[in-house]
Amino acid sequence: MRNLSWAFLGLVLSAGCVGAQNPADTDLGHDVHVRPLTEHTWLVSSVSNIESFGDVQSNAVLAVGPRESVLVDTPATNEQTALVLDWAEQQLHRPVRHLVMTHWHQDRMGGIDIALKRQVATYALGKTIELARQHGLSLPEHELRSQDHLALSGVLLETYYPGHGHTADNIVVWIGLDHVLDGGCFVKSMNARTLGNLAEINVPLWSKGVASVRRRYPGAGIVVPGHGDVGGLELLQHTAELLAQSENEKAVKSSK
C-alpha cells in the first residue's frame, strides 16, 4: 500500500479516528465502521442480520474525489447506509453522489432506497437490474455494460463482468489510481473455508472468471472481498483453490 500523505493523515484525524479502538478505524454506530485503505479509498465494514444467514459481516468501498465520492456497494440496510452517507458528507466533506452495486443481493444493494431518496445516482449491470426486478426490489437507474469505464465525481473506475460466479450478475470494480480491486462476493477472503452461499453459484464459470480477473488486474495492490479481511492478489489464488476443491469434491461424489 502506498504511504499516506501528510494531507491524508490530516483528513483521517479530522474524520474522527482519534481515540477509536483502532487508530485508523471510525465507528459510525449500528455495527458500521470505516477505515482508510489508500489516499483516496475507504473500507466500509458492516455487520447486519440477513435472513437465513444471521449476522453477516460485509465490505463496501468508498472512493473519494476532489469534492464528492463514489460508494461501491452498500451495507445491508438503509439505516446503516444512511450513516455512511452522512459521514462522507459531514466528516469528509465529500458527499456520495454515485453508487455502483456489484450484484443484486442484500449485502450489496440493501441500502439502495436511501440512496435513491437522497438523489444518489445508482449503477448496476443489466443482469442485476433484471434480477432486482424479478425479486421486487428497487431498481438501479443506470445500466452498466459488461466492461465499462466511468468517470464519476473525479473518480475513475472500471467495472468488469467476469461471468457467472457467486451469482449470474457479479461484477468487480477496479480503482486504478489506487490499485484497488473491489471483488465483491466474487472474491473470497483468506479466512473463508467454503464458497459461502451456494444457491446461485456456477463453479466452472466462476473458475474461468477468476483466471480472467487475475490476468486483467495483475497490478492490484489491495483486493477487497465481499466478506472478511482485505488482502492482495493471494485472495484470487485462494478463491481459485476453493473452487478447485469444490469441483474435486463433486467429482468424487459422482464417481461413487
Spatial strand order of the sheet with 26-29 comes to 26-29, 32-36, 41-50, 54-64, 69-72, 96-100, 121-125, 142-144
Q: Would you give the end-to-end CA distance of the chain in angstroms?
A: 48
* Residue 227 annotated as catalytic: yes
What are residue 27's DSSP bridge partners? 33
Helix (H, G, I), strand (E, B) or coil at 206: helix
Phi, psi (degrees; rounded to nearest 5) at 28: -90, -5
| Given 40, 98, 179, 188, the catalytic residue | 188
* Residue 188 annotated as catalytic: yes
Q: What is the sign of the dihedral through the CA atoms of 83, 33, 124 and 168?
A: negative
Please tell me the chain's helix, strand, coil percentages from 3-state DSSP, rounded to the nearest 5. Answer: 30, 30, 40
| Given 164, 166, 179, 238, the catalytic residue | 166
User: What are 104's three cell numbers?
Assistant: 443484486
| Given 31, 73, 107, 182, the catalytic residue | 107
User: What are 60's three cell numbers?
Assistant: 463496501
| Given 103, 127, 179, 238, the catalytic residue | 103
* Residue 107 annotated as catalytic: yes
| Given 25, 30, 86, 197, the catalytic residue | 197
Residues 6+ apart with CB under 8 A from 115: 71, 74, 81, 85, 96, 99, 122
| Given 40, 98, 105, 179, the catalytic residue | 105
DSSP letter string, 46-58? EEEEETTTEEEEE
* Residue 135 annotated as catalytic: no
| Residues classed as catalytic | 103, 105, 107, 166, 185, 188, 197, 227
